[in-house]
Structure 1
C-alpha cells in the first residue's frame, strides 16, 4: 500500500533504473596514521566491496605529494588486493599515460589480469602535476596528445598485436607483450572533468568516462553526458552502452548532523591538501601569483560548502537515495564511492552498513 508520505514525495523509492556502485581510493592525508595503516584500511574496504557486490575498485596514480602519495603505483596496489578478492574488478583512475611506456603498462596489467582471472579494466589520464614529469620530462607539454595517441597502442598490444618501438640507436624493434592477458580486449575509461571536448572525444573513441563534480552540479553534468552519448551515436556506436562513472565522496550515517560532525574538519583538511596541490601546479604552469592565505581560506570554505550540499553522498540512506536518483536522471551508470578522505576509520567502518543498505536498494 502506498503511504501518505510516499504520495507527498517525502520518502521516494529508488528509481527502477540500473546503476552500479564501486569504490575509489585517492588519499587519506592524516599524518597520525602510518602508511601501513592506510593500506590496511584500503584492504578492509576492498574486502567489504567484494562481499557486498560492488562492481569495481578504482585505483589512482599519484606522485611526489603527500596528497595521494601512498598510491605511487596502482598495479602494485592491485596485485596486493587481487588474491584476497573473488568478484570485484580492478580499474585504474587513472594511469598518467605520458609518464609510462605503453608496453610497460600492458605488461603490468596483463599480469594482474591473469592473477585476477580477467578482472582488470584500465582508466587513463594525461597527468597534470608538473613535478610528476621528472619521470618523462619531454612529455609534459604534449601530454594530452600523447595520452590520446597512446591509448590505441595499448589496446593493440593488449590484443596481442606486434608494435614496433624505437630501441637503442633509434632502431625500430617489434614488440609483442607477455604474459598474455585473460581478456582479449581491455575496457578503457578516460578521465574527464570539466572539458566538454573530453566527453565528446571519449564518446567518439568508444571509451567509458570517469568524472567528478569538479565545479559542476548534476544538472551541468547531465549536459556533458548528453554530449558523450551523442558523440557515440555519431561514431556509429551504441550511445547507451558507454559507462559514465561519477566519483562522490561518501559517508552515510543515521543522521545528517552526525555526518556533518564527522566530516567537516577532515574533509576541509582533505580539500586543502588537494587545493594546495592544484594551486601549486597552476602557478607553475601559468607563472601566476600564489593566492594569499585569506584567499585560500575563502576558496576552502566555498569548496567545502559546495561539496557537502551538491557534490557528495553525505547524510542518511534516504539522503543517499535522492542523490543516486538525481545521478541516474543525469545519465550516470556507476557511482565510485570515495571513502578514504580523512574521516576517522572507526566512523567509516560504522557507516558501511548504511552504504550496503543503499546499494541493496538498487540491485
Structure 2
C-alpha cells in the first residue's frame, strides 16, 4: 500500500516518485503479493503524488499482468458516481479485470474545494451512492439531470470486464462504519493504528455479523459469504529488530509529524487542537514506540511473523503493507523481499 510518499519530497522529485511506485509495484507482482493500493489525496505535503488513484492504476495496469489494482481510497463525495464508474471501468479493461477500490467519505475540509457543497453531508452521500455504483457497474442505466435540467437515462461506458465491482468501505475507529460495511456487503479497509486488540476484535465481529445477516446484495462476488477485512500496517521487515527500528525511526517520525500537521490544518469542528513543535515531537515519539509494540510490521522476520499470525487470529483477512513513509526505494524493495519469504512460510 502506498499512502503517504516522502513528506520532505520536493516538487522536482515527483517524477522520481512515480518511477519508485512502478518499480515497487512490479517487484510486488513478481514476489506474489495479491494487490497494490494507491490513495486519493489532495493539496497536502503528504501524498503529493496521489490525486487520482484511477489514473495511477491505469498506468500500473500497463506494466503489470496479475496483481490487483485497488484505490485505497476513492473519496466518493468529491466525484459524480458516473465518472467514478467510467474511470474504473477503463482501469478494469486495461488490466483485464483487476480493478477495485475502497470508498471513503472524506475528512479534510481543504479536499472539498473540489465539491464544497458536499462536505456537510459527505458521509450520507458516500453511503447512498454505493448501491448506485454497483448498479451502474453492472450495466444498468441511471437517471440524471442533463445540461438543460431534464432527467435523462444514461449508461456509463466502457463496459467493465468484471461483472461485479470489488468494493471496500474505508473505516477508522467508528463501529458504525464497520457495521455499515457489513450491511452493504463490501469489504472493510481499516488500519491497525488507533485500535487496540479488544476494540479490533469487536469491530471485526460486528462486521461479520452484519455481513452475514444483510438482506442485499447477495453474498457473492469478491467477498463471498464471509466478507473481507483488510488492515493497513506500516511495514519494514529488516535484517533484525534493531536494524529495522533504526532504519524506520527517522523517516516514520517525519511522516507522522507531517501527517499531524495535515490533521491540524483541517477546518472541521472536530479537528484536533493545534500543537506546538515540542508537543508534536513528543506525540510522534510516543506513536513510533507504540507502533513497535503493536500494529506495525516493523522488525525482524520473526517479529513480523508473530504479528501477522496475531492479526490473522484476530480475524484479519489481508494486510495492506504501508511502505512509502520515507524509506528509499532500495530499502523498500529489500524489505519486500524479506516479507515475501515470510508470507510463503506463513502460508
- Which of 145, 153, 168 matches 1:174? 153
Cα pair distance change 1:327/1:289, threshold 3 Å:
closer
Which residues of structure 2 form unaligned runs of 5+? Answer: none
Deviation at 1:263, TM superposition (A): 0.8
Distance 2:60 2:146 in 1: 34
Deviation at 1:344, TM superposition (A): 2.7
Q: Indicate yes or no: 2:247 matched with 1:262.
A: yes
Deviation at 1:222, TM superposition (A): 1.5
Correspondence for 1:347: 331
Distance 1:259 1:30 in 2: 21
Deviation at 1:288, TM superposition (A): 7.1
Q: Deviations over 1:61-119 (max 9, x none)?
A: 00000110100011111111111111100111110000000000011110110111000
Distance 2:189 2:23 in 1: 24
Cα pair distance change 1:201/1:128, threshold 3 Å:
same
- Which of 307, 310, 315 matches 1:331? 315
User: For the Cα contact (< 8 Å) 1:92–1:123, is it kept in 2?
Assistant: yes
Which residues of structure 1 form unaligned runs of 5+? Answer: 1-22
Deviation at 1:172, TM superposition (A): 0.9
User: For the Cα contact (< 8 Å) 2:264–2:272, is it kept in 1?
Assistant: no
User: For the Cα contact (< 8 Å) 2:75–2:106, is it kept in 1?
Assistant: yes
Correspondence for 1:299: 283
Q: Deviations over 1:176-214 (max 9, x none)?
A: 011100111101100001000001110011010000023
Correspondence for 1:232: 211
User: For the Cα contact (< 8 Å) 1:94–1:124, is it kept in 2?
Assistant: yes
Q: Give secondary structure in 1 for the equivalent of 2:161.
A: coil
Q: Give secondary structure in 2 for the equivalent of 1:94.
A: strand
Matches within 5 A, 1:200-211: 200-211=179-190
Correspondence for 1:28: 6
- Which of 48, 51, 58 matches 2:30? 51
- TM-score for the superposition, normalised by structure 2: 0.94
Distance 1:213 1:28 in 2: 21
Distance 1:258 1:199 in 2: 36
Distance 2:101 2:246 in 1: 36
Correspondence for 1:136: 115
More displaced, 235-244 or 339-348?
A: 235-244
Q: Indicate yes or no: 2:49 matched with 1:67.
A: no
Distance 1:287 1:303 in 2: 18
Cα pair distance change 1:165/1:310, threshold 3 Å:
same
Correspondence for 1:87: 66
Correspondence for 1:78: 57
Distance 1:174 1:100 in 2: 19
Cα pair distance change 1:83/1:288, threshold 3 Å:
closer
Q: Give secondary structure in 1 for the equivalent of 2:269.
A: helix
Distance 1:58 1:107 in 2: 19
Deviation at 1:248, TM superposition (A): 0.7
Rg larger for: 1
Distance 2:240 2:160 in 1: 46
Matches within 5 A, 1:8-19: none
Q: Give secondary structure in 1 for the equivalent of 2:132.
A: helix
Distance 1:152 1:284 in 2: 28
Which aligned runs of 4 or more in structure 1 are off by greater than 4 angstroms? 236-240, 286-289
Higher relative contact order (CA 8 A, sep 6+): 1
Deviation at 1:345, TM superposition (A): 2.5
Cα pair distance change 1:289/1:321, threshold 3 Å:
closer
